[in-house]
Each structure stands twice: as C-alpha cells, then as structure tokens.
Structure 1
Amino acid sequence: MSRVRVLVRDGCHLCDEAVAVVDRVCAEVGADWETADVDEDQGLRERYGDQVPVTFVDGKQHDFWRVDAVRLRAALGG
C-alpha cells in the first residue's frame, strides 16, 4: 500500500494540479503514491465525488480540492 493516495477523475484540472504536487513532494521525501479514479468505484464516488481531488496519507484523509506541498511534506515527515 502506498503512503499517499489521491482520488481523481478524468478531465479534472484540480486533479492534475494535485497529482503534480504529490508527485514532486513524494519524490523529494521518497514516499510511494498512487491514484484511484473516484468514478470507477460507486462507494468512493458517493462519498468523495464532490471533493476530488482527495488526498490520503497513511490511509487518513489529508486534503481535498487542493494539495498544500508544505502540509503534505510535513505529514510525510519530510
């Protein structure tokens, strides 16, 4: 399981921005990360569909809509 998970959807410009921040920060601190398409899972879509992108760190919700690089780096211990 990756330390960071980002719920995204196709065509979401905020998702693209969030993924770029997550990719950069995770590369800096050496953390694994992954994305999941919220529209491919009905439960995720119902719970988080209006909040994408949603970022989780170590299985706990960390952010939604935007990813703050400083907060993410701190959450990852970097």
Structure 2
Amino acid sequence: MGVVTTSDAPAPPVVLYGRAGCHLCDDARAVVEAVCAEAGVAWAEVDVDAPGADPVLREQYGEYVPVVTVGGVQQGFWRVDARRLARAVGRISTARADLG
C-alpha cells in the first residue's frame, strides 16, 4: 500500500484510504483500479497506519477503511460500489474538462 507524498504536483482526484492486511481494502483496490483505468483518471492509495502517516487520517478513517474519496469528497467506505464510484469519477472528469 502506497503513501501519498507531498509535492507541487496536484493531488490525484481519487484516493483510497486503507491499511495492510485488510481484505475489504483489497476488494476496494480492485474496484478503484478498474474504474480509474476505464476513466483514465489518476488515483492514489494511503495507508492510514503507515509509519509517519498523519494521525488525523487514522482518527478520521481508521474504523471505516477502506474509504474512497473523489475530489476530496467521501464516496464510500467498507464496500465500494463500482457504479457509484464511476459516476463520481465521471463528474470530476467532466468538471476538469470544462475548466480546460
């Protein structure tokens, strides 16, 4: 599981918050990978328990992992619905296209 690092690059629009050894996180990862690949959208994964991880993330998401956010808005937790995620990803993709 990767940890998002801070940089000047914009944050990926889709973020999966989870932890190692979480079977629901494995299931969610497969859904996020498939939906984001189909939409051509970047995503990142954050381990809320990783050394050096923000303790606020553990407090906010720890009992609910996996949690998926799109554009900073929580879209689901525990079980990720592919159709709901695809709609949310589609909305953010459309909004970005309108800005460009």
Moved over 6 A (4+): none
Question: Are 1:31 and 2:41 an aligned pair?
Answer: yes
Which TM-score applies when normalising by structure 2? 0.74
TM-score (norm 1): 0.94
Q: Which residue of 2 aligns with 1:72?
A: 85
| RMSD value, Cα | 1.1
The whole-number CA distance in structure 1 between the counterparts of 2:39 and 2:88 is: 11
Stretches of structure 2 that go unaligned for 5 or more consecutive residues are 1-10, 92-100
Count of paired positions: 78
1:12-61 per-residue CA deviation (whole Å, 9 max, x = no partner) reads 00000000000001000111000000113211111111000000000111
Aligned to 1:58: 71
Distance 1:46 1:75 in 2: 25
- Hey, what's the Cα distance between the residues in 2 that align with 1:30 and 1:51? 27
Q: Which has the higher contact order (CA 8 A, sep 6+)?
A: 1
- More strand as a share of residues: 1
Q: Residue in 2 aligned with 1:8? A: 18
Question: What percent identity do the matched residue pairs reach?
Answer: 55
Unpaired runs of at least 5, structure 1: none
